[in-house]
A and B are shown apart, each in its own frame.
Chain A
């Protein structure tokens, strides 16, 4: 059974802080990982995806996968109040369904 474990949070940081969000996965043959962001009362939206190991950067966001430890991380630099949302990691694992972590609620305080 494929599982994704995610730090439950909630996480509260001051504006400008570096945020680190983490997940671990149990079994993924395909190793295709995603981060979704969900604002309150909205559906999740894809933020970033990364394949296999290494880093992927997009503006203030960096996604990192460590295959050896089965660890997935999302870093947010210079966090803004508009980053306040729930962040969900997801593992595709080569199947037709995404398995999501339970999400970490982030609040960035002005």
Chain B
């Protein structure tokens, strides 16, 4: 158990809908990262927050947004969903932001299926 909690574990929805994925980082970790994993693209970095502030942005679509709250939990909002958004979404946390020692602790992921 990494200590990172993600909900929901599975989500099935329709195209055009909006969903929210939630992440609680490990106790004491200030950084939260969101990754998308699909078979053809692998693990793609979406966005990172550190202590409530956005620190780095990756291949995140404009239809997607995220935030980190004062209690350090984070939410990833996916809107106007398309079939291609079906993937595993991982949240990870770490103590520090930079230099990045690479030790990210991943949750078990939220599997999103868009029909």
Binding site for B on A (CB under 8 A): 30, 32-34, 41-46, 49, 88, 90, 92, 94-103
The number of residue pairs between A and B whose CB atoms lie closer than 8 Å in the complex comes to: 74
Known: A43-B92, A45-B2. A100 touches B102 (CB 8 A): no
Residue of A nearest to B6 (CB): A43
Known: A34-B102, A92-B102. A97 touches B4 (CB 8 A): no
- Contact B106–A103 (Cβ < 8 Å): no
Known: A88-B43, A98-B45. A43 touches B102 (CB 8 A): no
User: B99's contact among A33, A94, A100, by CB below 8 Å, is which?
Assistant: A94
Binding site for A on B (CB under 8 A): 2, 4, 33, 35, 41-45, 48, 50, 55-56, 58, 90, 92, 97-109
From A42, A44, A94, name the one whose CB has the most chain B CB atoms within 10 angstroms.
Answer: A44
- Contact A102–B41 (Cβ < 8 Å): yes
List, in ascending order, chain B residues with CB within 8 A of A101's CB. Answer: 42
List, in ascending order, chain B residues with CB within 8 A of A99's CB. Answer: 45
User: A95's contact among B100, B107, B108, by CB below 8 Å, is which?
Assistant: B100
- Contact B42–A95 (Cβ < 8 Å): no
- Contact A96–B106 (Cβ < 8 Å): no
Known: A43-B4, A43-B109. A100 touches B43 (CB 8 A): yes
Known: A96-B55, A97-B33. A45 touches B106 (CB 8 A): yes
Q: A43-B108, A45-B2, A45-B106 are in contact. List 19 more A-B contacts (CB 8 A).
A: A32-B99, A43-B2, A43-B90, A44-B106, A49-B103, A88-B42, A90-B102, A94-B100, A96-B97, A96-B98, A97-B33, A97-B56, A98-B104, A99-B45, A100-B35, A100-B43, A100-B45, A101-B42, A102-B43
User: A32's contact among B4, B43, B101, by CB below 8 Å, is which?
Assistant: B101
List, in ascending order, chain B residues with CB within 8 A of A43's CB. Answer: 2, 4, 90, 92, 106-109
CA distance A98 to B103 in the complex (A): 10
List, in ascending order, chain A residues with CB within 8 A of B99's CB. Answer: 30, 32, 92, 94
